[in-house]
Structure 1
């Protein structure tokens, strides 16, 4: 099995794209062209990461990082997909995470930030392709594309590096005559059913103690998270990416009711 460092190396290269900052309800606030390069030094024992922001009409902004080890806040899957972020929800502190998916010459990353009161404050969608590649973006995600039944496989990895878990998944999304959307989610032998309403590009689940929304975004992306996070209630931060009409990936960063980061799951599912 590849080490966490070897999995990081799947991200080497020059990634050209943009950082798109959105409001909590999905309105575009800022779109900045970017180039993010990751280069292996010393026989790939050190990584140099250069982040260049290229705001139109302004001087470029560049940040250079070098590192030879990984912190406790990040985990990588075999294909290089990853998540990094807060390991503990703390009172009066900013909280959030980045979730990054890879598909060939494309990367899609999503950053979800909650303010000091635990309210969803910023969403940043990062769409990238490797330099020299010409891979088109996917269309803006719609609810109709998700309606139906999806069957998949999930891999869950853990911050304490225990053995990963692998299990089957099923996601069923249906319309009701009332206008409600019914979602049935199966992880192994556990089944969860929830009801939502669609409002513009937002799917809202209101019945839980922590209301949750799914934002439908460009490039086939979706952002799934609570509107507010707090201790005493477990929650997840999730990104979805519709790669093809019948193929989707989701990454789920899970927190316990004590606000502790406990696992990271990658789901690859196909429409049946």
Structure 2
């Protein structure tokens, strides 16, 4: 672990009041629990983490002085962590987090032992005594348009790419959403079917589902992870009307985690 990773984590320091909202694979709210999370360090060398949730009299308390290889952070404090290897017949998942001013927004995606997308938990957090506000529920209309961004990719051996440019175009036609993604490495187009707060993209035998969620959040996952096929997971957050962040975890056809990418994009 590099020292910079530790300093990036400390950018999440504070007392955060929030809620854990669990949704079904089809975006239906199942339950919601309020929370209070405290994260910080007195000496910069040991971080103390305390999480209290309503209905649970015993808070989770953890102290640590190093980070494991399951979590990777970016300079602003945004992070992603999760399984480094997908294996059939085992529970699989990932967690992401953004921190911006007096706000944090986190997401957990889980798959069951049959590799089916099982649930997503959205965690909306506000700095105690701060001025953070909640965004509205994400809509297709907010996503439509041309997004130009800059991406940075981190790899399991701590290497990182040079920043590179991205261009994402989203256009609705009836109940179809057309998207085109251009980077220096790809030029990719696809179409998704819109059904309320769900967008479904089918490519061959792959089916990816986008859930539009409260607070400007979105979750993208395979409906089912197929063995020996590459796949990706994504968490997006609309932080302003024309500004969006996306974290993308890529896995290869052997189920190995190969990279995490942060995209910062502006709608023109």
**TM-score if structure 1 supplies the norm length?**
0.95
Aligned to 2:151: 154
After superposition, give the CA deviation of every residue in 1:219-242 in whole Å (9 maximum; x if it has no partner).
000001111113311111111111
SS of 1:145's partner is helix
Give the C-alpha shift of residue 2 in structure 1: 6.1
1:133 is aligned to 2:130: yes
Q: Distance in 1 between matches of 2:204 and 2:241?
A: 30
Q: Distance in 2 between matches of 1:167 and 1:206?
A: 27
SS of 1:159's partner is coil
1:255 is aligned to 2:218: no
1:14 is aligned to 2:15: yes
CA contact (8 A) 2:152 2:162 kept: yes
Aligned to 2:29: 28
Q: Distance in 2 between matches of 1:244 and 1:134?
A: 15
Aligned to 1:68: 65
Q: Distance in 2 between matches of 1:203 and 1:251?
A: 18
Give the C-alpha shift of residue 159 in structure 1: 1.4
RMSD over aligned Cα atoms: 1.4
CA contact (8 A) 1:230 1:259 kept: no
Q: How does 1:15-94 map to 2 (within 5 A)?
A: 15-41=16-42, 43-55=43-55, 60-94=57-91
1:101 is aligned to 2:98: yes
After superposition, give the CA deviation of every residue in 1:234-267 in whole Å (9 maximum; x if it has no partner).
1111111111111111110111111111111110
In structure 1, the gaps of 5 or more residues are none
What number of residue pairs does the alignment pair up?
267
Q: Distance in 1 between matches of 2:183 and 2:234?
A: 15
CA contact (8 A) 1:83 1:97 kept: yes
Give the C-alpha shift of residue 135 in structure 1: 1.7
Of residues 262, 265, 271, the one that matches 2:267 is: 271
1:184 is aligned to 2:190: no
After superposition, give the CA deviation of every residue in 1:98-135 in whole Å (9 maximum; x if it has no partner).
01112111111010000011001111000001111122
Segments of 4+ moved more than 6 angstroms:
none
Q: Distance in 2 between matches of 1:97 and 1:71?
A: 14
CA contact (8 A) 1:50 1:65 kept: yes
SS of 1:7's partner is helix
Give the C-alpha shift of residue 97 in structure 1: 0.3
